Structure 1
Amino acid sequence: MFVTMANSVAEKDFLICCGSSKFAGEMVKLAPFLTLSQAIEASRNIWWNKVDVPGWLEAFASHPRIGDTESIKKPDSWSKSEQSAAIETANDSILQELADWNQRYEEKFGFRFLICASGKSSMEILKSLQARFSSRPIEELQVAAEEQQKITEIRLGKMFGEAYVDYCLAGLAPVSQRLNQFLGHLGAAATVNESSTSALGHSIVPTQVSSTRPPITTHVLDVSRGRPGEGISVLLELWKGTSKAGNSNEWTMIGSSVTDSDGRCGPLMAPSNSVAPGRYKLTFDTGKYFQTSSGSEDSASQYFYPYVSVVFEIKPYQVSQHFHVPVLLSPFSYTTYRGS
């Protein structure tokens, strides 16, 4: 049971969850935790408000390099299971690329590349590493700290014997807020275009990092006409499961909009750097579109699908990613895919 295990947790146990000695010490002060959610909320507060940058670097250094098959073989290492998908999908060529890019990354940023690897293939990780290499040092430090917190929450769930659940990655403070927090750790003013030097010795330009687009977007292309699908109503919903009353099909509306002259849908949700995990549904009013575009309200023979619904799932380890889900449409068929 959770309470029994919580009472017996020592500093070394929390140190396995997060390699910062400051973090582990502060968690022990607050233990025991009656629920996993209590432990996670405490971990977030400690990580973002009490652990300084040297503590972050200490935690980063406790992880084996991604793709280093020898380092993850230690008996007490959880990294082996966390990197299992990456190792299983890697060949010698990809492992060598990971090693090369890890070295380049560490030479540039001064700390180890960190990513929540659970469920990610070796190619996904390599692409993330290459993409993040172009980041500013201050921004990359922020991203690495976010990834460490994700790993910490997964390991807290394992330690207390509870399945990793959706709220482990939900409710994180806005990115810009956390960026300002660790700018404070560095002693830098969080002012745009004000140059500073980080504790890592890098020249940095503090900036407010915030998303300019919703995490879920879409567009429609009418391939039968070779033009954007303009004026199509779009509805975004989230699956809530079975209600207490036993009712099923509990889809909750998040937002709606209409595609513009470029076929792009207006915002279906507020701009954000993260999204709640779960099953989502995009519904396109294709029947009305074909009726309008054909110039006839009685045009049932001109199309087959009155609505197109696309259901997709965002997993807990994907909450910081962007999801663009386009539809290629014709009167008698449609295609969808995950775009960029």
Structure 2
Amino acid sequence: MSSSSPRPAGDAPAPRAGLIRFNNAEDGTARAVLHEVCASRAWGERMLARRPYAGADELFAASDAAMAELTADDLAEAMAGHPPIGRPKPGDPASRREQSGMAGASDALKAEMLELNLAYQEKFGHVFLICASGRTGEQMRDAVRLRIGNTPEQEREIVRTELGKINRIRLTRIAEHGEGDAA
């Protein structure tokens, strides 16, 4: 179909410039971009193998499928790439943006989150992971309070879901804006 032809009803929209750049990036560059989305090498390799993506929906579906296939070790590797809530990675705008709900938190709430993060990490062996975008500090505190009572198996599946949400947010930024230097 030529670019001047109208798109038939039901066809997916054309990929955005960011996704086109990502699809066309050298493997090493695309791999680095994917690592910024999710620190799991297995997830990144699955995503890389499925390029090119026709659109964001296809990109998200591939991410969800890759996330569902991750082993416990793969999930641990992915979680290792995330800082504790309330302590975003210095110099990392995505980390700061995603945890902005803690930016205005009181010192008491920050101290409580530090305590809860440590207790959670002691119980589960990894950082408390939640899709923090759009959540207040109080909502994140309440979530860790609730989730600390979970079994390791329950928590692993919740973490898998939360990672999937984070990945979608980050992939959206890449697909729409080309963030992650995939050019």
Fold match by TM threshold 0.5: yes
What's the Cα RMSD here? 1.4
Out of 94, 98, 117, the residue aligned to residue 78 of structure 1 is: 94
Note the C-alpha offset of 1:60. Answer: 0.8
Distance in 1, Cα, partners of 2:56 & 2:24: 13
Matches within 5 A, 1:291-330: none
| CA-to-aligned-CA distance 1:90-149 (integer Å, 9 cap, x gap) | 111111110000000011111111000001010110010001111111101111111001
TM-score (norm 1): 0.45
Matches within 5 A, 1:41-190: 41-49=61-69, 51-68=70-87, 71-75=88-92, 77-88=93-104, 90-161=105-176
The residue number in structure 1 matching 2:6 is none
Matches within 5 A, 1:17-32: 17-32=37-52
Note the C-alpha offset of 1:16. Answer: 0.9
Distance in 1, Cα, partners of 2:65 & 2:56: 14
Distance in 1, Cα, partners of 2:120 & 2:58: 35
- Number of matched pairs: 157
Would the aligned equivalents of 1:57 and 1:111 in 2 still touch at CA under 8 Å?
yes
Structure 1 residue ranges, 4+ long, deviating more than 6 angstroms after superposition: none
What secondary structure sits across from 1:56 in the alignment?
Answer: helix
Distance in 2, Cα, partners of 1:92 & 1:128: 19
1:7 pairs with 2:27: no
**Could you tell me which amino acid in structure 1 is paired with residue 33 of structure 2?**
D
Higher normalized contact order (CA 8 Å, seq sep 6+, divided by chain length): 2
Distance in 1, Cα, partners of 2:101 & 2:23: 30
What secondary structure sits across from 2:64 in the alignment?
Answer: helix
What secondary structure sits across from 2:176 in the alignment?
Answer: coil
1:40 pairs with 2:50: no
Distance in 2, Cα, partners of 1:151 & 1:7: 24
Note the C-alpha offset of 1:4. Answer: 3.1
Would the aligned equivalents of 1:105 and 1:112 in 2 still touch at CA under 8 Å?
yes
Indicate the structure with greater strand content.
1
Distance in 1, Cα, partners of 2:84 & 2:136: 15
Matches within 5 A, 1:128-277: 128-161=143-176
**Could you tell me which amino acid in structure 1 is paired with residue 31 of structure 2?**
E
Indicate the structure with greater helix content.
2
Distance in 2, Cα, partners of 1:138 & 1:123: 25
Would the aligned equivalents of 2:22 and 2:30 in 1 still touch at CA under 8 Å?
no
Would the aligned equivalents of 2:109 and 2:137 in 1 still touch at CA under 8 Å?
yes
**Could you tell me which amino acid in structure 2 is paired with residue 7 of structure 1?**
N
Distance in 2, Cα, partners of 1:37 & 1:73: 32
TM-score (norm 2): 0.81
Distance in 1, Cα, partners of 2:22 & 2:71: 28
